Structure 1
Amino acid sequence: MKIAIETHVKASLAETWKAWNDPEAIKQWNTAQADWHTTHSEVDLRAGGRFVSRMAAKDGSVAFDFEGQYTNVVPQQLIEFEMADGRKVKVEFSEISGCVLVQEVFDAETEHSVEQQREGWQAILNNFASYVESSQ
């Protein structure tokens, strides 16, 4: 099953793209809840390149790596990747009426409900938009 989410970012396409792919920026926005954070991020943005973001509870009780390999990169338009567990993700960037539409489609996993996954990924996407807009 595929899950789709999206957000509108009130910023330029160049700023939006940079924030999505800059490891230091990723550490600022990549969280679904205030009691979590991303402590480490690496990005090798090219087909065949790898990425990893270390996501952790701020109290140190649990952490995991969100990682995978890029399968297709079209600068300022498209990123496709396969996560370490084999699920596929597609992220599209489109300029629309003075903002950037970011659309993300990903394969669902079986551990959490579809709604939990949609809410978690959407929360991260919302944090991303807020971060980019506040960084201008």
Structure 2
Amino acid sequence: MHTQRITVETRIDAPLTEVWRAYTTPDDIIRWNAASEDWHTTAAEVDLREGGAFSSRMEAKDGSMGFDFAGTYTRVVPQNLIEYEFGGRQARVEFAPDGDAVTVRVSFDAEDSHSVEEQRAGWQAILDNFARHVTAG
């Protein structure tokens, strides 16, 4: 069975060094890693190297549910590319400088419990939050 890939992207008006730092620093991740206002990330760990582990604790703000988004980095090219494995799925994050901005493109393997549209919308919402976080400084 061929797993479907979903891709989302955003363009951020900020230097590459700043975009990369915000994407890979736990203190920043906690501030932007949510798909909606009623969710938040309460903890994040990053060991940014090939074979290193990462995790983010995502919880509903009302305390009704939560889960760990965790995996292993499989390839890291500083300020350019992050590839990782999570729950048997693969994801790739590309950082492409574009004049005074950076395009961040995330592609990942779809899962079966939510529609492709729901997954794309959720990941795009997180990426949009990330863009707002970086440009807000």
Q: TM-score surpassing 0.5? A: yes
Q: Give identity over the alignment, percent.
A: 56
Aligned length: 134
Which 5+ residue runs of structure 2 have no aligned equivalent? none
Alignment correspondent of 1:16: 19
Secondary structure at the aligned position of 1:54 is classed as: strand
Alignment correspondent of 1:92: 94
Instruction: Could you list the structure 1 runs, at least 4 aligned residues long, displaced by more than 6 angstroms after superposition.
Output: none
Q: 2:119 aligns with which of 103, 117, 120?
A: 117
Which 5+ residue runs of structure 1 have no aligned equivalent? none
Distance (Å, rounded) in 2 between the aligned partners of 1:71 and 1:87: 12
**TM-score normalised by length of structure 1:** 0.98
Letter in 2 for 1:134: A
Distance (Å, rounded) in 2 between the aligned partners of 1:119 and 1:94: 22
Alignment correspondent of 1:7: 10
Distance (Å, rounded) in 2 between the aligned partners of 1:97 and 1:13: 10
Q: CA deviation at 1:97?
A: 2.0
Distance (Å, rounded) in 2 between the aligned partners of 1:99 and 1:86: 33
Distance (Å, rounded) in 1 between the aligned partners of 2:121 and 2:110: 12
Distance (Å, rounded) in 1 between the aligned partners of 2:128 and 2:58: 17
User: For 1:46-85, what per-residue CA distance to the aligned partner results, in whole angstroms no more than 9, with x for missing partners?
Assistant: 00000000000000000000000000000000000000x1
**TM-score normalised by length of structure 2:** 0.97
Distance (Å, rounded) in 1 between the aligned partners of 2:48 and 2:88: 18
Letter in 2 for 1:100: V
